[in-house]
Amino acid sequence: MPSAWDHFSQWSSTLADLAGVSALLGWDRETGMPHGGAETRAQQLGTLAAAYHRELVRPDLDGVLDELSGDDGLPPVRRRQVELARRDRARAARVPESLVRALSEAKSRSVAVWVDTRPAGDWGTFAPALAAVVELRRREAGYLADGGEPYDALLDVFEPGARAVDLEPLFRDLRARLVPLVERGTARPRRPFPRRRWPADAQLALARDVAELVGYDLTSGVITVSAHPFTISPGYGDVRFTTRLDEANPVGNVLTVLHEAGHALYEQGFPEEYRRTGLLDAPSLGAHESQSRFWENHVGRGAAFWRRMEPVMRGRFPQAMDGLGAEDLHAEATAVQRTLIRVEADEVTYNLHVALRFELELALVRGDLGVDDLPAAWDARMEELLGVRPTGPADGVMQDIHWAEGMFGYFPTYTLGSLYAAQIAETVDAELGGLSAAVEDGRLAEVLAVLRERVHRHARLLDTPELMRRATGRELSADALVAHLSRVVA
């Protein structure tokens, strides 16, 4: 007879395998799949999602989970796995299957409509599809929130433990302190970046240089190119990411690689003993984003980093680098501009883009704002926060795919990641006697070692607030980020 633990462990491995397989299908869809395979791929992902759900809620696991929960001798690492599994099962069981199916269909439709209507900013066609998703997500939140704040129930998928009641004052504080920094940042004279050609193949080689420089292990990874950069792991020992290449400017590629490699280094740092378990993950998207933002903003936007990169880039681009120095690249990496598109925003304006989305989606979910009023609210708030007005829905309310995908509660994790990253940077700075000096001296392995020890090795063992409290010795606030950005625009 297999023990209850063996039974549980086998079941967890199956869930982990199914999730990893779906991740691989997603990777292939964005990086290799021919156009003709799109419909089949969508159906396969649907079949895998259904298989995952069926496995997750398998009734014969109830007894096993009860037995393990009642076992006082269970080691803490196993106890945590059982607890996380119960949490996932409870969530999955609370929503009626008819609603799950309706939501899945509504999301597919709304994403398809978004893809078609976004380029021309055809809000009139998109709005009803979006409204259907909002309505269904609100109903889902009703089931999950159990009388509490519905938004928190949606947030919980991405950021367990986070609550609107905590986020609202945090964003209010951050917003108020960012606006003057944007003012200062945009008032600085802008150093023009020369028009030259940075060949794509050399930029892909550069991407590998940068990834290896920060410690990414290419024997357990792949780097390639896709329209929207992302990091994904089909399972232990295999963590992949993509970047985006612009032949007119290499700085975006370098920063994107640092960002994605930050995600990838996190996953490459999970302990092997968590292979095929529910622990082989970050506890939240905010925790994940803390690692990408750390490398992108606190390493990659520092002057020391570009001094290290200069000879590497001269080797890869002997012509384009002619007459250019570390200061030119660093200036380009830290330019501040009032722009309309979030994914192209600099680090100073970025969190104002997120604040806008958080406010609006919270109002949508609470029912304080209707989908029809969304474009006007967006444009007005954009002007207040960033001083620019969209030319239309395409560079306004329709620019992101998240809402079309029903992902309400996702955006705040970008800012949580930025805040945690800034706190972690202060911790690394203190521990190594200066982060900038460590980068300058090429001691990047020491930087990574601090992250491995304080964050990566814990994987999903602790919820994010506790993980970050232990890692940084502090409660979450906007202080570290504001201090960092003040130095950037000084």
CB of 219 to a copy of itself, least distance (A): 5
Give the per-residue SS3 of 274-336. Answer: HCCCCCCCCCCHHHHHHHHHHHHHHHCCCHHHHHHHHHHHHHHCCCCCCCCCHHHHHHHHCCC
CB of 7 to a copy of itself, least distance (A): 15
Q: Is 34 in the site for a copy of itself (CB under 8 A)?
A: yes
Distance of alpha carbon 337 from alpha carbon 342, whole angstroms: 12
Structure tokens at 158: 């991405």
Q: Is 48 in the site for a copy of itself (CB under 8 A)?
A: yes
Q: Is 32 in the site for a copy of itself (CB under 8 A)?
A: yes
Per CB under 8 A, contacts with a copy of itself among 157-176 are none
* Residues 217-256 as x/- pattern, contact with a copy of itself by CB under 8 A: xxxxxx-----------xxxxx-x----------------
Q: Is 41 in the site for a copy of itself (CB under 8 A)?
A: yes
Residue 261: CB atoms within 10 Å: 30
CB of 220 to a copy of itself, least distance (A): 3
Q: Is 28 in the site for a copy of itself (CB under 8 A)?
A: yes
Per CB under 8 A, contacts with a copy of itself among 252-311 are 275-276
CB of 186 to a copy of itself, least distance (A): 43
Distance of alpha carbon 474 from alpha carbon 343, whole angstroms: 29
Instruction: Please tell me which residue in 140, 159, 260, 361 is annotated as part of the active site.
Output: 260
**Whether 384 is catalytic:** no
DSSP string, 180-229: HHHHHHHHSPPPPPP-----HHHHHHHHHHHHHHTT--GGG--EEE-SS-
Closer Cβ to a copy of itself, 12 or 472, answer by number: 12
CB of 261 to a copy of itself, least distance (A): 15
Q: How many residues bind a copy of itself (CB under 8 A)?
A: 38
- H helices within 343-443, ranges in order? 347-366, 374-386, 412-432, 435-440
Q: Is 33 in the site for a copy of itself (CB under 8 A)?
A: yes
Q: Is 195 in the site for a copy of itself (CB under 8 A)?
A: no
Which whole-number Å values give the CA distances from 287 to 168, 339, 432, 460, 463, in the listed order? 19, 27, 22, 10, 9
Question: Which of 309, 317, 385, 303 lies closest to 345, judged by CA?
Answer: 385
Task: List the catalytic residues.
Answer: 260
Contacts with a copy of itself by CB under 8 A lie at 13-14, 17-18, 20-21, 24-25, 28, 32-41, 43-44, 47-48, 51, 217-222, 234-238, 240, 275-276
